[in-house]
Amino acid sequence: MILSLELIDLSRVTTINVMGKGGKERDIAVLLPNWKRVGAALYDYEINYQGQIIRIEIKKQQNLQWFDSGKYYALSSVDREIRVMFVNHDKGDIVTILVAELGRLIDWLCENRKKDGWTEEVLKVGAEFKERYPSLQFKAPVHVATLSREVPELFETLYSRQ
C-alpha cells in the first residue's frame, strides 16, 4: 500500500473543480483535512501517521504532466518515499486520483523514458542549472493516465469515477 485511504477524505471529490492553471493544491486540500500544508520544494503536504511522517506532492493534469526534472537528481532516501498524488481530470472534473512513490517513479522513467529527457545526465544538468539559476526549470513530460495503464504496478488508484 502506497498510501492508506484513512488519510484521504474522498467524500467531497465530486464537488472539486480543478480546471485552470496552477496546481490547485488549495482546492484539492479538502481531500487532505488532517494534513499540514508545507509547500517544500518536492512536496506540498505532510502528516504524522502512526509515528511516521508521510509527505505528498500534488500534481493535476488531464494526462500530460511536466516535471521540473532538475529537482529529482540524487534524491535522498527520505525524498524517494514522497508520495505523488496525480489528480487526473476532464474539463475540471476529477476522473482519477492515483498515487506513486517518487523514487520508484523517477527510477522507472529514467530506465524507460530516456527519449523524453528522463536520464541521470539531464537530471544532473538540470540540478546544476537550478543551483545557479533557481527559477530556471528543465521540463520533462509524463503522460500520467497513459503510464498508469501501461505500468499499473507503479500506481495505486485512490479514486476512479465510473
67 — pLDDT class (breaks 50, 70, 90): very high
Number of helical H runs and strand E runs in the chain: 5, 8
Contact (Cβ atoms closer than 8 angstroms) between residue 88 and residue 96: yes
Task: Give the CATH number of the domain where residue 142 resides.
Answer: 3.40.210
Q: Encode pLDDT of 104-138 as tens digits.
A: 999 999 999 999 999 999 999 999 999 999 999 88
46 — pLDDT class (breaks 50, 70, 90): very high
* pTM beyond 0.85: yes
Number of domains in the chain: 1
CA distance 25 to 148: 22
CA distance 23 to 9: 19
Q: Which pLDDT value is given to residue 39?
A: 77
Q: Which pLDDT value is given to residue 126?
A: 95
- pLDDT (mean) for 129-148: 94
Domain that holds residue 81: 5-160
Strand partners, 12: none
Strand partners, 141: 66
In this structure, the dihedral spanned by the alpha carbons of residues 143, 117, 39 and 130, taken in order and rounded to 10 degrees, is -160
With a pLDDT cut of 90, the percent of the chain lying above it is 84
155 — pLDDT class (breaks 50, 70, 90): very high
Strand partners, 140: 67
What are the start-end ranges of the H helices in 11-162?
25-28, 77-80, 102-112, 120-132, 144-150
Q: Encode pLDDT of 71-92 as tens digits.
A: 999 999 999 999 999 999 999 8
Sign of CA dihedral 119, 143, 131, 54: negative
